[in-house]
């Protein structure tokens, strides 16, 4: 077992986060004495400190960081149903559209699954439809207060998380988004406590076979940047900890895509794909998202990095564009897939 000594640190943003115990030793979580310091040291020291975190797949290997080269990763293409939510289709119909458009996966919302059941549908049957259509459930979008400081709210949030996980499992899914819902305005949220709470959420997920993944929300005060989500994931110490990133949210929160070089091949199993217009960050909102390639996001650089690092990632087109909602759903889905493939191959 590789141990990270008390003097070793992990780089996050502009600070060095001191890690006092092995990330591979789950019994150490919540017991180690971790502090934040602004001391700096060499890149060689950083590479040595990161060795123990490489095994979990969250950080890139020192060799890869020192000498980037093309490696074999994997990229699959999926559609988040928000992209066609304005067309008011049932989830069963959305599955048909996504499959016909040529995607490999679908990312539904829990509220759609709730509506499906309310309308008399079976989640098991929906899962069979998804599988028979040749699709996988990339992830599911739900909202529950797992990170909040209020114990009563967090307890209720974890019960909702269990309900979400049960539904995801029923349709054949293995991942669930875990955004900082309920804590978005808490700039004082202790990310070390958030990491402990994330671990508790992951342990609940273990019993369902569903992995919650920390989602970056650019407008959220505590987890608006890639480094903050990475800290929560890494400090949780759980072997399945991972990050759900989003092109729009990374930009909205001020993250540079260059930070991906510090992450391992399995750190970001899901990446929400979109683009954004040339507007000030503070004026951008979800409705401004456009097809990949139709905005100013540095997508070519992003996918050059993804290919270089050999990342294994499921791309999911997530848009909330009101103009697209006025169009035929299949046309929107097909256009989105074509544009995603174009920027990936550019």
Burial 300-328 (b: 16+ CB within 10 A, else e): eebbebbebbbbbbbbbbbbbbeebbeee
Question: Alpha-carbon distance 35 to 53, whole Å?
Answer: 18
Domain boundaries, the chain: 9-55, 66-345
Q: What is the pTM of this model?
A: 0.81
Residue with tokens 């709730």, as numbered in its chain: 114
Averaged pLDDT, groups of 10, the chain, 346 residues long: 34 36 35 37 40 52 43 84 98 98 98 98 98 98 96 98 98 97 87 96 98 94 92 96 96 91 93 97 96 97 92 97 98 98 90
pLDDT at residue 57 in the model: 62
User: For 66-345, which CATH class?
Assistant: alpha beta
- 309: enclosing H helix or E strand: helix 299-309
Spacing of C-alpha 113 from chain mean position:
20
**Please, which residues bridge with residue 105 across strands?**
78, 136
Q: Which letter does DSSP use for residue 310 in this model? A: T
For position 185, what pLDDT does the model report? 85
Residue 258 is predicted with a pLDDT of 86
pLDDT of res. 168:
98
pLDDT of residue 182: 85
| pLDDT score, position 304 | 92
User: CA 228, 234, 240, 242: dihedral to nearest 10 degrees?
Assistant: 20
pLDDT value for 184: 84
pLDDT at 287: 97
Phi, psi (deg, nearest 5) at residue 292:
-55, 130
Q: How far apart are CA 139 and CA 70, in angstroms?
A: 27
């Amino acid at each position: 077992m590789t141990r990270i000594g008390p003097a070793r640190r992990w780089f996050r943003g502009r600070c060095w986060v001191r890690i006092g115990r092995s990330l591979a030793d789950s019994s150490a979580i919540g017991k180690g004495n971790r502090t934040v310091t602004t001391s700096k040291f060499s890149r060689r020291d950083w590479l040595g400190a990161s060795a123990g975190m490489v095994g979990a797949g969250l950080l890139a290997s020192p060799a890869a960081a020192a000498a980037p080269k093309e490696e074999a990763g994997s990229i699959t293409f999926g559609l988040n149903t928000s992209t066609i939510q304005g067309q008011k289709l049932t989830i069963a119909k959305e599955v048909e559209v996504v499959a016909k458009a040529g995607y490999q996966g679908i990312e539904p919302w829990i509220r759609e699954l709730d509506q499906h059941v309310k309308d008399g549908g079976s989640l098991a049957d929906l899962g069979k439809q998804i599988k028979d259509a040749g699709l996988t459930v990339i992830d599911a979008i739900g909202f529950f207060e797992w990170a909040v400081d209020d114990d009563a709210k967090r307890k209720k949030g974890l019960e909702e998380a269990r309900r979400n996980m049960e539904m995801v499992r029923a349709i054949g899914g293995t991942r669930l988004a875990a955004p900082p819902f309920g804590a978005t305005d808490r700039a004082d949220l202790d990310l070390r406590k958030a990491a402990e709470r994330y671990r508790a959420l992951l342990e609940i997920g273990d019993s369902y076979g569903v992995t919650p993944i920390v989602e970056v929300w650019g407008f959220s005060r505590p987890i608006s940047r890639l480094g903050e989500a990475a800290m929560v994931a890494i400090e949780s110490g759980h072997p399945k900890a991972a990050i759900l990133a989003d092109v729009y949210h990374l930009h909205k929160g001020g993250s540079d895509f260059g930070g991906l070089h510090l992450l391992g091949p399995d750190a970001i199993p899901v990446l929400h794909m979109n683009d954004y217009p040339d507007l000030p960050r503070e004026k951008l909102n979800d409705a401004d998202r456009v097809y990949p390639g139709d905005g100013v996001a540095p997508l070519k650089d992003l996918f050059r990095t993804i290919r270089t690092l050999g990342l294994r990632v499921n791309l999911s087109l997530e848009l909330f564009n009101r103009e697209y909602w006025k169009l035929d759903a299949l046309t929107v889905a097909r256009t989105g897939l074509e544009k995603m493939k174009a920027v990936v191959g550019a």
